[in-house]
Structure 1
């Protein structure tokens, strides 16, 4: 009989904040939940940065949510969203 080595233990996660970054990106893409996507993406980005790992989905989620934020502010400031506001 030949000797087999034991399998290495599974790693905890590939890097911290990966799943949270993906969730943040998905929330940022959805127009009604962009604000939640911004918050979740920032949390994931900070977790990954503290671990010294790059988190592209979280960064993209921050960018997408920031674009929605700018569009919302411009729309509100110019009155474009007034037709959707209750009177």
Structure 2
């Protein structure tokens, strides 16, 4: 389940937000009515990191033997995606 709270509520109820994350729930934090971040369970963050690493490995493997693309170009392309 997802919940949305203001940054003020987030500060005031941080312990509850942590408990919700431990239970598997995500809390979206807003400021001036706009979503600015999310407090997520660690599993969500770890899955996102693994996905990023898998994509990097895929790009490296795909282009490793290409005489037209240098490893530096692959790394530069990958790092650009994070911006």
Q: TM-score, normalised by structure 1?
A: 0.34
More helix as a share of residues: 1
Higher gyration radius (CA): 1
Q: Higher relative CO (CA 8 A, sep ≥ 6), structure 1 or 2? A: 1
